[in-house]
Amino acid sequence: MDASRTQTTAISSNSVTAVLKRIIAENGRDHIRGYIFAVICLATVALTTAFTAWIMESVVNEAFANKRADLVWLICGSILAAFVLRGFASYGQAVTLSKIGNNIVARYQRRLFAHLMTLSLGYFNESRSAHLAAQISQNINGIRDVLNLTVTSTARDLLSLVALIGVMIFKDPMLTLIVFVVAPPLLYALRYISKRLRAATKEAIIFNSHVLGAMQETVQGIAIVKAFTMEEQLERKVSVTIESAEKRSNRIARLSERTSPLTETFAGVAISSVIAYAAFRSIYGGMLPGAFFSFVTALLMAYEPAKRLAKLQVQMERAVVNARMIYEILDMQPHQREKPGAADLAVTDASIEFRGVTFAYGENEKVLKGIDFVAEGGKTTALVGPSGAGKSTVVTLIPRFYDPSSGEILIDGQNIADVTKASLRRHIAYVSQQPYLFEGTIRDNIRYGRPDATDAEIEDAARLAYAHDFITAQPLGYDTPVGENGVTLSGGQRQRLSIARALVRNAPILLLDEATSALDTESEAAVQKALDQAMHGRTVVVIAHRLSTVIKANKIIVMHEGRIAEEGTHESLAQRPDGLYARLNNLQPAPQNDLS
């Protein structure tokens, strides 16, 4: 396992408060001014709303009952001013909170990407990439929503409710008491709903990420899908996942929307009780209706913020589930940490030495079992052997894609576990079995090998990789977009671009993991000649796929079942009648045939 999923004290707590405290601690200080301005705007909205309810008594009593024409203009002007002020305040808080929210989302996207780059290949091998991308895209907004819900609910809804309740108490305390008699059962019911919603939300997020992941994988492998007529099979499989996600989403909808009948029933009971009491008091007590109208206005205006606050815990639970799943990723500790005081790798001869190296993927059986060999500086060392012998694992240990279970790997006598990974990898160029191209142009993809490379150096590397001719034949030459993972290019062309990317790096160590396996015979011959020139003066570790590569190597290491079976040159190994290499060699009638 690449990362220990040990959570911090705050995030291990299941409470909304723990997550909220962490989010505020990480983001509050940077946006304090924006939040203060938004709170002022929201408070203005709340106070102008309360003022509208409060002034209704004057509207009814003075304008209609007492017929005070001199006060009509003052009352109407104050109401107009309140609405205008509330409009500008609503605009100000909405824009401000949106900008802050967008910044928070962008910040966590950058933070997530940077953190994912610190995790080793082990984590990504255990996590489906499509599932991980879908999970991040669904949950990243949870951080923003937690803060925005907190600010808007506190500064607008809570303050509006408090101000309107103040108006209600001031106008008629007895009517206010009637309203609050039915409140406790409502709060208890909402708390029960929010607890059930928490588990349902997490399940829905997981199933939705499976749906998006399955769709993404199908699109990426569409050629295989069509070639093997897998459409119906995958459709049935994805349909089951979609149905499961749909059921979870429907359950969330049922739980979330249960607040509506509860709050509506509460409002109906409260308002009907108030109207009945006030009507009898006006009929039999002869009281002016202004205070009652003001009270009812405040009660009706309080209904919306009260309903939003009633849904707050439900909404907050959903947002916190999203935020918590993002923090689960951010809290993963990289297994391959830099040692304190790790120095930069100093390369002179670039010799590579394996001393008693063993390795296993997780809890699986050991792939390497006590590997000892030296790849001499400036020379080519080839790894050959049957499939599954551990050749690719040896190559992936050199740039520390993984760390060995035991033993040491040294470059010029320096244990690579004691140096920084960045300095180690700066001295290594790597070509994998499966070439990968990134979105952008051909020139961009070659330049990833060395960002400061000039156009001339990029073209020289392409010529060495036997790629220049097909590149110039493209519609835009080196500026031709490659499409998603080089979909517009053939496998051999993608591999040659991958080789060019390694060559432009101009590193003293070159790792070739069956680098010519995707090339046809003619292209391989040209690339091999170019690689012979590129290998000169460099330390090369190559997984030999074809006999021509093995013959030219200074040293051949034959691997079998995670151990070194033989070691020597082509001539010496081929002359051992009972050796594994000789047996493989005898099975290959032509130099182009496979050894592995």
Cβ-contact 382, 458 below 8 angstroms: no
Q: Give 546's DSSP letter.
A: B
Task: Report the range of poorest mean pLDDT among 60-74, 294-308, 367-381.
Answer: 60-74
Q: Minimal CA–CA distance to 316: which of 360, 273, 359, 256? A: 256
Walk me through the domains of the chain, giving residue ranges and CATH numbers: 3-334 (1.20.1560.10), 349-427+510-596 (3.40.50.300), 434-506 (3.40.50.300)
Could you please report the per-residue DSSP string of 16-66?
HHHHHHHHHHHHTGGGHHHHHHHHHHHHHHHHHHHHHHHTHHHIIIIIIIS
Cβ-contact 143, 104 below 8 angstroms: yes
Compute the distance between CA of residue 33 and CA of residue 40 in angstroms, rounded to an integer: 11
pLDDT at 585 over 50: yes
Report the alpha-carbon angle 111-112-118, nearest 5.
Answer: 95
Q: What is the CA radius of gyration of the chain?
A: 35
Both tokens of residue 408?
């040491």
Q: How many helices and strands, by DSSP H and E, does the chain display?
A: 25, 12
Compute the distance between CA of residue 268 and CA of residue 327 in angstroms, rounded to an integer: 42
* pTM as predicted: 0.68
pLDDT at 159 over 80: yes
**What residue type is 550 in one-letter code?**
V
Q: pLDDT tens digits for 439-472?
A: 889 999 999 999 999 999 999 999 888 889 899 9
* 23 vs 37: which has the higher pLDDT: 37
Cβ-contact 140, 110 below 8 angstroms: no
Chain centroid, CA 563 distance in Å: 39
What pLDDT, on the 0 to 100 scale, is given for residue 447? 93
Cβ-contact 460, 472 below 8 angstroms: no
Report the alpha-carbon angle 123-394-371, nearest 5.
Answer: 120
How many angstroms separate the Cα of 94 from the Cα of each of 24, 39, 140? 19, 11, 20
Both tokens of residue 366?
């050991």
Q: pLDDT tens digits for 403-443?
A: 898 999 999 999 999 999 889 999 999 888 778 888 889 99
Could you please report the per-residue DSSP string of 295-308?
HHHHHHHHHHHHHH
pLDDT at 150 over 60: yes
Q: Minimal CA–CA distance to 47: which of 97, 77, 81? A: 81
Q: pLDDT tens digits for 82-122?
A: 889 989 998 998 899 889 888 888 888 888 888 888 877 77
**Residue 405 phi, psi (nearest 5):** -70, -35
- Most trustworthy range by pLDDT among 188-202, 329-343, 396-410: 396-410
Cβ-contact 116, 171 below 8 angstroms: no
What pLDDT band is residue 1 in, cutting at 50, 70 and 90? very low
Torsion sign across C-alpha atoms 195, 201, 206, 210 = positive
**Residue 543 phi, psi (nearest 5):** -85, 115
Q: pLDDT tens digits for 278-293?
A: 677 667 666 666 777 7
% residues pLDDT > 90 (the chain) = 19
What pLDDT band is residue 13 in, cutting at 50, 70 and 90? very low
What pLDDT band is residue 37 in, cutting at 50, 70 and 90? very high
Cβ-contact 248, 204 below 8 angstroms: yes
Neighbour tally for 508: CB within 10 Å: 19
Cβ-contact 548, 592 below 8 angstroms: yes
* 238 vs 190: which has the higher pLDDT: 238
What pLDDT band is residue 5 in, cutting at 50, 70 and 90? very low
Coil, strand or helix at 193 = helix
pLDDT at 12 over 50: no
Task: Match 């409260």 to its residue by tokens.
Answer: 270
What pLDDT band is residue 308 in, cutting at 50, 70 and 90? confident
Q: 333-334 and 3-4 as β-strands: parallel, antiparallel, unpaired?
A: antiparallel
Compute the distance between CA of residue 569 and CA of residue 379 in angstroms, rounded to an integer: 12
Average pLDDT over residues 135-160: 79
Provide the angle, in degrees to the nearest 10, between the axes of the packed helices 32-54 and 159-171.
Answer: 20
Cβ-contact 208, 139 below 8 angstroms: no
Q: pLDDT tens digits for 162-180?
A: 888 888 888 778 777 766 7
What pLDDT band is residue 354 in, cutting at 50, 70 and 90? very high
Compute the distance between CA of residue 3 and CA of residue 39 in angstroms, rounded to an integer: 40
- Most trustworthy range by pLDDT among 125-139, 183-197, 369-383: 369-383
What pLDDT, on the 0 to 100 scale, is given for residue 593? 42
Mean pLDDT of the chain: 80
Cβ-contact 307, 268 below 8 angstroms: no
